[in-house]
Amino acid sequence: MTNIREIAKIAGVSIATVSRSLRHPDKVSEKTRQKVIEAMETYEYRPNMMAHNFRSTRSYKLLVLVPNLANPFFATLIRGLEDYAQKRGYSVLLGDTRDEVQNERIYLDLINSKQADGVIQLTPYSPEESLVPDHLPIVGAAGCEGTPYPSVRIDNTEAAKTVTDYLISQGHRRIGVISGLRDNRHTMDRLRGYRQSLEEAGIEFDKSLVIEGEFTMASGQMAANQVLMMDEKPTALFCMNDDMAIAAMQTLKSNGVRVPEDISVAGFDNIEYSKYTDPPLTTIDQPAMEIGRMAAKQLITLIEDGELPQNRFVLPYEFIVRESVRSLT
């Protein structure tokens, strides 16, 4: 258990100098610094970060609140986040909330008890449910419009409009939607884009075409079953994430409905699996890694500087055309 005192003794300096050699090398003469470094190396000294963190009232930990880690979109985002955080000397603490607000409370306690310096929230903001304490360093990632704290995201409304525009350009006019939960902000933002597109094309909005899912594959399957029972089926289906699109597509096909010949399907997220469905899925590519990196960057700045020059970071998305949408013209 070699500590700072031992190194000081070996190097023949005071513990203050050892500390300075690490944290403020410029305040130590080149010669003594060398002596200290050498002592550290021969004794394989590793500063006790618990003491360091305690003393400097910084944990160098970022808490990420994720509704479902098993969704590869979130997992990929977190990979980016972690990659960046690591380069800045921060580690990431995982908080899988299972989409339950009460679980968030438990994790937020890590902040209060000083075990994390800030949080990255992957669940879109909900005014009713949010329990963000004041002055908590927090940034939203892949969130929604109107988040009251800094956030990094794409323009969900515009992206949804892009998808719908494309469906319409392919001759579809009866376009179904498999949405997330009605009061989820992603659902709202994306539905707005869908409706805008319809409106511009002069197609009347038909709410019976919107089926409520909850961003899970099981819900995508259920939604597809509802589509199967409709008398007048849509010719195309816009699913608000790839998980639901993948499940819906499979459900449709296993019930004898061909994709895209009978019903076209589009997704949202561009998780890797969407490239390997049959047919490969047309979808919106959210730059998951980049959103994660950027969110980490903003959070760390917020922690270290106490403020951000800018609060909204809207990243570009890409529309990926594959083979799950058929042209009607």
Partner DNA sequence: GTGAAAGCGCTAACAT
Partner DNA sequence: ATGTTAGCGCTTTCAC
Task: Give the binding site for DNA (CB under 7 A).
Answer: 1, 3-5, 12-20, 22-24, 27-29, 31-33, 47-48, 51-52, 54-56
**Residue 22 touches which member of its own copies, DNA, none, C-beta under 5-8 Å by kind:** DNA
Nearer to DNA, 20 or 153 (CB): 20
- Nearer to its own copies by C-beta: 168 or 288? 288
Distance CA(148)–CA(312), nearest Å, equals: 10
Integer angstrom CA distances of residue 229 from 91, 224, 281:
49, 9, 23
> Which pairing describes strands 151-153 and 138-141: parallel, antiparallel, or unpaired?
parallel
Name which of 20 and 190 has its Cβ closer to DNA.
20
From DNA, its own copies, none, which one binds at residue 25 (CB under 5 to 8 Å depending on kind)? Answer: none
Cα(316)–Cα(310) distance, rounded to whole angstroms?
17
CA distance 141 to 81: 10
Shortest separation between residue 61's beta carbon and its own copies, angstroms: 8
Give the nearest distance from C-beta 265 to its own copies in angstroms: 12
| Locus of tokens 């020059």 | 309
Continuous H helices in the chain: 4-11, 15-23, 30-42, 49-56, 72-87, 101-112, 156-169, 185-200, 217-229, 242-254, 288-305
Q: How far is the CB of 50 from its own copies (least distance, A)?
A: 4
From its own copies, DNA, none, which one binds at residue 69 (CB under 5 to 8 Å depending on kind)? its own copies
CA atoms of 223 and 246, how far apart (whole Å)? 12
Return d(Cα 120, Cα 132) in angstroms, integer: 11
Name the residue nearer to DNA (CB basis): 32 or 225. Answer: 32
Nearer to DNA, 16 or 218 (CB): 16
Contact residues for its own copies, defined by CB under 8 A: 46-51, 53-54, 57, 59, 61, 69-70, 72, 75-76, 78-79, 82-83, 86, 91-96, 106, 109-110, 112-115, 217, 221, 246-247, 249-251, 253-254, 272-273, 275-278, 280
In angstroms, how far apart are the furthest CA atoms of the chain? Answer: 87
CB of 320 to its own copies, least distance (A): 16
Q: Which is nearer to its own copies, 47 or 290 (CB)?
A: 47
Residue whose structure tokens are 């949405």: 179
